Amino acid sequence: MTKLFSPIRLAGLELANRIVVSPMCQYSADDGCMSDWHLAHLGSMACSGAGLFVVEKTNVTREGRITHGCTGLYSDHNEAAMARAVQIYRGITKNPIGIQIGHAGRKASSQVPWLGGKALGATESPWQTVAPSAIPFGEGWHTPRELSRDELRGLVGAFVAATLRAKRIGFDAVEIHSAHGYLLHQFLSPLANRRTDEYGRNRMKFPLEVAAAMREVWPKERALGIRINATDWMDGGWTPEDAVAYARELKRIGIDFICVSSGATVPHAKIPAAPGFQVGFSEKVRKEAGVKTRAVGLIADPGHAERILAAGQADMIAMARAILDNPRWVWHAAERFGVKIDYPPQYARVQPSLWPGSKLARPQREPA
């Protein structure tokens, strides 16, 4: 049995395999409500065979959206639209489904990537952004307003309210977005948090308050995970040692898994992107904090994914672009390792053993 296709338990959940569809913004919502695009997207991901699919960064307030097209869980309309999409997912697979919950902070009010990905211009309905300190993400970005302590209390409430909506929709897992330079990570990073109050002297304070409040309302038998950064890739920024200290606190709160990512705190960081370039961070957090971790970042080959798990560098592998590129990635990996997996019955005849008159594998693409 491969590690990749061995089950894993996260709280009361059992994932059939270690492959996770990484959260991916689709920028296709209307005032936070999932659209027809999401119905197709969730349907496609439900067929993937991945042990867990995590819905895109979904925002706890309207102002917390990155773009006008980002999903939210701040209204009854948002909740109803998402419940419909999840119902479609449930009609296809028994594999669990999770949702990432977050707030963009100073990176909010920006254009969708295919319209530029920059701060919204004056004629594009921009909005006032908020952050730990009034420091813009980069040149040309909005200057955020520093959050007051009252507003921070309100935001903890917004994270809890969104978590309760996710619970009502019936998600199996919630993942807190505390990475990639969004609000919770802005509090953690010295590059974005220059406060002099207790939220600056103890930069973990606000994200830990959010995580603890979410843990309190999220059922123990469903999984509560978090995505963190291991580094800002900048001198004077957040470091792997900080990530370990944070992970230890998160474990104490009762977080069930940690996805270890990096970067996106400031636009000018130099990131040494290469296959598996963040895996070492996952290994460090896993070993030094004693938590289940998920590795992510340029992992696209099943053999590579298997080696990471076999070497004890992670407990799960998250994939974003490789699975968008090939939503049948899991089927093909199972085939390569000789593992039998469940297909949606409507598609079951693509299994190599069922090709009529042939015991051979399905015809392969011709080499380019």
Ligand X SMILES: Cc1cc2nc3c(=O)[nH]c(=O)nc-3n(C[C@H](O)[C@H](O)[C@H](O)COP(=O)(O)O)c2cc1C
Binding positions for ligand X, rule: CB under 6 A: 22-25, 56-57, 100, 177, 179-180, 227, 261, 296-298, 319-322
Give which of 272, 337, 271 is closest to 301, Cα–Cα: 337
Tokens (6 digits) for 92? 């296809």
Find the shortest distance in angstroms from Cβ 259 to ligand X: 8
Would residue 89 show up in a list of annotated catalytic residues for this protein?
no
> Do 324 and 331 contact (CB within 8 A), yes or no?
no
Closer to ligand X at the Cβ: 175 or 209? Answer: 175
> For residues 66 and 57, what is the distance between their CA atoms, to the nearest angstrom?
9
Closer to ligand X at the Cβ: 147 or 296? Answer: 296
Find the shortest distance in angstroms from Cβ 178 to ligand X: 9
Find the shortest distance in angstroms from Cβ 172 to ligand X: 18
Find the shortest distance in angstroms from Cβ 327 to ligand X: 13
> For residues 49 and 32, what is the distance between their CA atoms, to the nearest angstrom?
27
Closer to ligand X at the Cβ: 8 or 279? Answer: 279
Q: Among the options 27, 89, 182, 246, which is catalytic?
A: 182
Closer to ligand X at the Cβ: 28 or 195? Answer: 28
Give which of 185, 176, 317, 200 is closest to 253, Cα–Cα: 176
Find the shortest distance in angstroms from Cβ 278 to ligand X: 8
> Do 13 and 172 contact (CB within 8 A), yes or no?
yes
Give which of 116, 55, 127, 49 is closest to 84, Cα–Cα: 55
Tokens (6 digits) for 177? 């977005």
Closer to ligand X at the Cβ: 35 or 351? Answer: 35
Find the shortest distance in angstroms from Cβ 180 to ligand X: 6
Closer to ligand X at the Cβ: 56 or 335? Answer: 56
175 backbone dihedrals φ, ψ, rounded to 5° = -120, 125
Structural element, H or E, at residue 100? strand 97-102
Count other C-beta atoms under 10 Å from residue 196's C-beta.
8
> For residues 63 and 7, what is the distance between their CA atoms, to the nearest angstrom?
38
Structural element, H or E, at residue 241? helix 240-253
Closer to ligand X at the Cβ: 22 or 231? Answer: 22
Tokens (6 digits) for 216? 């309190």
Find the shortest distance in angstroms from Cβ 132 to ligand X: 19
Q: Mapping DSSP to helix (H, G, I), strand (E, B) and coil, where does residue 167 land?
A: helix
Give which of 222, 93, 228, 244 is closest to 166, Cα–Cα: 222
Alpha helix (H) ranges present in 109-239?
149-169, 183-188, 198-201, 205-217
What amino acid positions are annotated as catalytic residues? 182
